[in-house]
Amino acid sequence: MDMTGQNWVVIGAGGFIGTNLCRRLAQSNANVVAFGRTLLFPEALTGCQWMAGNFFNTIDLANALEGAEFVVHALSTVTPAKSNEFPMTDVEENLIGTLRLINLCMTKGVKRLIILSSGGTVYGPDVPVPTLEDAANDPICSYGIVKLAIEKYLAMYQRQAKLDSVVLRVANPFGPYQLPKGQGVIAATIYKVLMNQCPEIWGDGCVIRDYIYVDDLIDAILAAAQLNDPHAPRLYNIGSGIGKSLNEVVDSIAEIHGAIHITRLPGRAVDVPISILDIQRAERFLNWHPRTDWKKGLDLTYAWFEQSGICQDFPRKLK
């Protein structure tokens, strides 16, 4: 996809999704401002303009948005597992911070804001599976509540024709440049086995999640930016549409690595037992479908961990 001349700003460009998105945009000849606090993989952002800044500093954010057509918000300061411990921080940083971003996008005349929401936490535990976008919302963690609130504000401004936006409710992404901390059981497991450590699993391993390879997520983001039907929905599930249990994830990695010995920890109250997304709406309106099968995605991710040196550099990168 040729994006020559398009002006993009990626918020959270130093992170996992942001890094992969910036790489693709640069390869597609877009003008990319990569905004973030820390650049962990400078070699990955060749062809992008790195702009170091604080998401909570209005001046930094306003400077980054100057001349932007498409803005992607791929930053969060908490994880679902930790959000219930710090709900006020979640609201102050992620809800208020995103509202500040929305206001600046309106002021700067941004053509479209793309928000990465959560396909696993906004629905809650008692919804049909696979789950459609119009299923009931009953989040059981602050992370999901804040994501849902952001969605509602965007819908309000969309109705008022103040800002065009697209929300992507993303499943569990994995792939290169995902650090083995916070979210990401696949990254954490691969890292630990390569470091000759025992991966940890919460509960009995029967929790089921929808996993999507990061390249397919980037395809969805680009498709959302190119959406030109004013009557099309502005909210989409983005996942594989297929569920894998934690035990299946470990078994699949073991097929690549060899035998894996795991440590089992007590189950967590913030974990929805099963989350699989129905992606038919994205297939219809975005003309998008995941292209990377499960085994290929794992092979590519494992190879990146082996070849990138992240296992040696990870402790240093966290400082």
pLDDT at 313: 64
Q: Is residue 243 part of a domain?
A: yes
pLDDT tens digit sequence for 147-187: 999 999 999 999 999 999 999 999 999 999 999 886 799 99
Per-residue pLDDT at 270: 77
CATH number at residue 131: 3.40.50.720
Across the range 180-199, mean pLDDT stands at 91
What pLDDT, in 10s, does the model give residues 132-152? 999 999 999 999 999 999 999
Three-class HEC string of the chain: CCCCCCEEEEECCCCHHHHHHHHHHHHCCCEEEEEECCCCCHHHHCCCEEEECCCCCHHHHHHHHCCCCEEEECCCCCCHHHHCCCHHHHHHHHHHHHHHHHHHHHHHCCCEEEEEEECCCCCCCCCCCCECCCCCCCCCCHHHHHHHHHHHHHHHHHHCCCCCEEEEEECEEECCCCCCCCCCHHHHHHHHHHCCCCCEEECCCCCEEEEEEHHHHHHHHHHHHHCCCCCCCCEEEECCCCEEEHHHHHHHHHHHHCCCCCEEECCCCCCCCECCECCHHHHHHCCCCCCCCHHHHHHHHHHHHHHHCHHHHHHHHCC
The pair of three-digit structure tokens given for residue 237, joined into one six-digit string: 């599930």
Average confidence (pLDDT) over 11-22 = 97
- pLDDT attached to residue 133: 98
pTM here is 0.95
Cα 21 versus chain centre, distance: 10
User: In this predicted model, what pLDDT tens digit does every residue of 298-313 receive, in sequence order?
Assistant: 999 999 999 988 877 6
- pLDDT higher than 50, residue 319: no
Quote the tokens at residue 186: 């696949």
CA angle, 283 as apex, 16 and 111 as ends, to 5°? 60
What is the model's pLDDT at position 315?
54
Distance CA 311, CA 307 (A): 9
16 in a structural domain: no
Instruction: Give the model's pLDDT for residue 267.
Output: 86
Work out the mean pLDDT of the chain and round it to a whole number.
94
Average pLDDT score over residue span 283-291 = 98
Q: Which residues form the domain of 205?
A: 76-317
CA atoms of 180 and 192, how far apart (whole Å): 8
CB atoms within 10 A of CB 48: 22
More confident residue, 34 or 182: 34
Does any domain span residue 19? no
**pLDDT at 316 exceeding the cut of 60:** no
Is 93 domain-assigned? yes
Over residues 73-82, mean pLDDT: 92
Please give the Cα distance from 172 to 277 (Å, whole number).
10
Average pLDDT estimate for 204-211: 95
- Region 183-208: mean pLDDT is 92
Average pLDDT over residues 244-271: 93
With respect to residue 242, please indicate whether it lies within any of the assigned structural domains. yes
- Structural domains in the chain (count): 1
Question: Residue 54: inside a domain, yes or no?
Answer: no
Residue 237 CA to chain centroid, in angstroms? 12
- pLDDT at 124 (0 to 100): 82
- Predicted local distance difference test score (pLDDT) of residue 81: 85
Of all residues in the chain, the percent with pLDDT exceeding 70 is 97
